[in-house]
Structure 1
Amino acid sequence: METSRTPLLPEPARKLGAWCAVVLLVAGVAAVFVWLCVVFKAAVTPVLLAILGTALLGPLYRRLLRMKVSKSLAAAITVLAVLVVVGGATYIVVAALIETGDQILASLRQAAVDIAEHFGAAGTSLEDLAENARTLLEKFGGTAASGVISGLSVVGQMLATAVLALLLIFFFLRDSDRAAGSLRSLVPAGTGDTAEAMARRAFEAVEGFMRGTTLVALVDAVLIGVGLLVLDVPGAVGLAALVFVTAYIPYLGAFLSGAVAVLVALADRGFVIALWVLGVVLAVQVIEGNVLQPMVQSRTVQMHPAAVMLAITAGASVAGVLGMLLAVPLTAAATGILGELRARYAAPQGPVPEEAS
């Protein structure tokens, strides 16, 4: 006669252990994936940049296809558009920062000195921070401008990454119709539909993020730039360019660019104008938060601000500035995948059956 065995652990403890095992397994896989990305960053970075470029101008490619343009020509035109848009924006931003960079740095240093006079030791640390930032920027600019081997190596690596990313954008666009078939060939037969739906949802999230963030960055830069010009703040064009670039880092970027604009105004135009600049920055952020962001996020994956900040911090710890820029779109893609899985595997909540009388 068999006797039933009493489990060593109660049911809640066993469930907790199972969940801990799942969490450890997922964390281990994620850690290995991040480690591989860091090791092969020379190949991973162009792929990620190509995905972002494809997501940004993918609608242009599809519009060209609807106009009966061949796939290869449509992909080539889109790549040219990427080159013109990104290259033009980079040129405008770099030119503006070079033209007004010294003025902005001098204003920041003067602001640090003024703060040091009023706040003592705390202001002295700010002054040291400004001086160190100025020194680092001067070294970076000197390295990029001079013909030393290290500077040329960095520039050459950036150019190689950009060229490879452009080539990948061309192939991603031209062969996008084969992506679903390739993905299905890599996964088990029974999970083909799920894998394709997850991939589409992830790409749609990245596409929505890139287009929405670019629109928000442009509007923020124009509005704040106009406000700085009206208030006659020195380096207004360079500060507007800084707003545009940092807008791709949600929340943190707006804080940094706004703080720089206020400090520059404080140093050169006084306390009253600095308050006006602060008001302009806050007004633009209110417009962004209540008008632009709801319009953008209604068409893409919504993410909690805490999740965004954690993603930015993790990206910065892994890959520096590039990690900060890539962290949010990658998080948006992961959120889209989780949303698709939840929609597919969530328990259906149908009507409760009535008991038979």
Structure 2
Amino acid sequence: MQLLPEPIRRLAAWCVVILLVSGVAWVGIRLCVEFRTAVTPVLLALLGTALLGPLYRRLVRAGVQRSVAAGLTCVAVVAVVGGAVYIVVAALIDTGNEIIASLRQAGKSLAQHFGAAGTSLDDLAANSKGLLAKFGGTAAANVISGVSVVAESIAMAVLALLLVFFFLRDSHRAVETLRSVAPRGTAGLLEAMARRAFGAIEGFMRGTTVIALIDALCITLGLLVLQVPGAPGLGALVFVAAYIPYLGAFLSGAVAVLVALADRGFVIALWVLGVVVAVQLLEGHVLQPMIQSRTVQMHPAVVMVTITAGASVAGIVGLLLAVPLTAAAFGVVHELRSRYAPE
């Protein structure tokens, strides 16, 4: 090695470090994927704890006992999320027939306009018996698989809620526990890293909540002006879906456009689409830089790459967890750099 120039030796050393870190990260990701049923509720509970921590601490400062405060916080979350889901589902059920009829009419109009023979919904309905006989077995298997996925998701959600309760109630013991398991001489560093990482997650959740609230208020106001039915429920859906980057905005906007198409017609649906696009442009070019740059210092390109990687590894759960976990990693790196980087 002494025969090699100094720059080459430094490059070799850095390559070895990068390979080791990449290998450890890959093994950790594979283990998390294998044990996702247990790992995912823990990560979701950490996000929920970061989001609900201010409310819990306010209740504790008001004199509420810790277990009662944690329970009230979890009940409030269940009430808000459950109420939003109920309002949205009720609105979709009430307008479900109109949505299907509007889509059928739109399909007929497109088929007549472009002259596409055999592609209308009536043709598909006429051939549905043959399609069902051909793909019935696969469809049944997919239905069974979907039911199992739903059951697993419900179980993970319940476990995550229980973990949120315990994380909130015992949050005052977290530092003591971390210091007790830390190797000798590293307790201070581990505590600082943990505080910086959790602070980054709290900042992300706080910024996302503010952005989601502004999005929901703007879209709800636009739907009320356009007299779209179920506007409060659709606004609640926008608020809840905003915690899933990009995909949540697309899904909630699509639901709002479909409801407008069913009840108010094609022109109002286009206006709703314009409102949704305008709000998303406001979020991407104004709200995200103003709010998230103060809470999570990550470039938008890094956010997009992180979301893509998270989706490829863990699907929708990866979409939800990728950015806050990356923010936590950036917080740890900043803490280490502030301690060990030369002046």
Same structural fold, with TM-score higher than 0.5 when normalized by the shorter chain = yes
The answer to whether 1:325 aligns with 2:324 is: no
C-alpha deviations, 1:172-200, integer Å up to 9, x for none? 11211221122123332222112111111
Residue-pair matches, total? 322
30 and 325 in structure 1: CA distance in 2 versus 1, 3 angstrom threshold: same
- Is this contact kept in 1: 2:50–2:202, CA < 8 A? yes
- Once superposed, what is the RMSD of the aligned Cα atoms? 3.6
Of stretches 206-215 and 319-328 in structure 1, the one that deviates more from structure 2 is 206-215
Of stretches 286-295 and 223-232 in structure 1, the one that deviates more from structure 2 is 286-295
Structure 2 residue aligned with 1:170: 165
Q: What SS does structure 2 have at the residue aligned with 1:347?
A: coil
Of stretches 334-343 and 277-286 in structure 1, the one that deviates more from structure 2 is 277-286
Deviation at 1:344, TM superposition (A): 2.0
Structure 2 residue aligned with 1:91: 86
166 and 59 in structure 1: CA distance in 2 versus 1, 3 angstrom threshold: same
- For the residues of structure 2 that align with 1:74 and 1:55, how far apart are their CA atoms? 15
51 and 223 in structure 1: CA distance in 2 versus 1, 3 angstrom threshold: same
- For the residues of structure 1 that align with 2:11 and 2:229, how far apart are their CA atoms? 59
Select which of 238, 244, 257 maps to 1:249. Answer: 244
Q: What SS does structure 2 have at the residue aligned with 1:189?
A: coil
Gaps of 5+ in 2: 120-131
**With CA pairs under 8 Å and 6+ residues apart, which has the higher RCO, 1 or 2?**
2
Structure 1 residue aligned with 2:196: 201
Select which of 22, 25, 29 maps to 1:30. Answer: 25
Deviation at 1:272, TM superposition (A): 6.0
Structure 2 residue aligned with 1:43: 38
- For the residues of structure 2 that align with 1:88 and 1:269, how far apart are their CA atoms? 25
- For the residues of structure 1 that align with 2:7 and 2:114, how far apart are their CA atoms? 56
- Is this contact kept in 2: 1:266–1:274, CA < 8 A? yes
- For the residues of structure 2 that align with 1:101 and 1:188, how far apart are their CA atoms? 59
Of stretches 310-319 and 205-214 in structure 1, the one that deviates more from structure 2 is 205-214
Q: What SS does structure 2 have at the residue aligned with 1:327?
A: helix
The answer to whether 1:297 aligns with 2:292 is: yes
The answer to whether 1:64 aligns with 2:75 is: no
- Is this contact kept in 2: 1:208–1:296, CA < 8 A? no
- For the residues of structure 1 that align with 2:14 and 2:147, how far apart are their CA atoms? 50
- Is this contact kept in 1: 2:215–2:239, CA < 8 A? yes
C-alpha deviations, 1:146-171, integer Å up to 9, x for none? xx876664444333222222221121
Structure 2 residue aligned with 1:309: 304
- For the residues of structure 2 that align with 1:242 and 1:111, how far apart are their CA atoms? 25
- For the residues of structure 1 that align with 2:35 and 2:235, how far apart are their CA atoms? 35
| Paired residue type of 1:220 | D
- For the residues of structure 2 that align with 1:242 and 1:117, how far apart are their CA atoms? 35
71 and 100 in structure 1: CA distance in 2 versus 1, 3 angstrom threshold: same
- For the residues of structure 2 that align with 1:291 and 1:157, how far apart are their CA atoms? 38
Q: How does 1:151-190 map to 2 (within 5 A)?
A: 153-190=148-185
Q: What SS does structure 2 have at the residue aligned with 1:248?
A: coil
Deviation at 1:81, TM superposition (A): 2.1
| Paired residue type of 1:196 | E
- For the residues of structure 2 that align with 1:37 and 1:252, how far apart are their CA atoms? 23
| Paired residue type of 2:222 | G
Of stretches 170-179 and 80-89 in structure 1, the one that deviates more from structure 2 is 80-89
C-alpha deviations, 1:27-66, integer Å up to 9, x for none? 1111111111111111111111211111111111111221
| Paired residue type of 1:180 | V
- Is this contact kept in 2: 1:103–1:234, CA < 8 A? no
The answer to whether 1:224 aligns with 2:203 is: no
TM-score, normalization: structure 1? 0.75
- For the residues of structure 2 that align with 1:109 and 1:37, how far apart are their CA atoms? 44
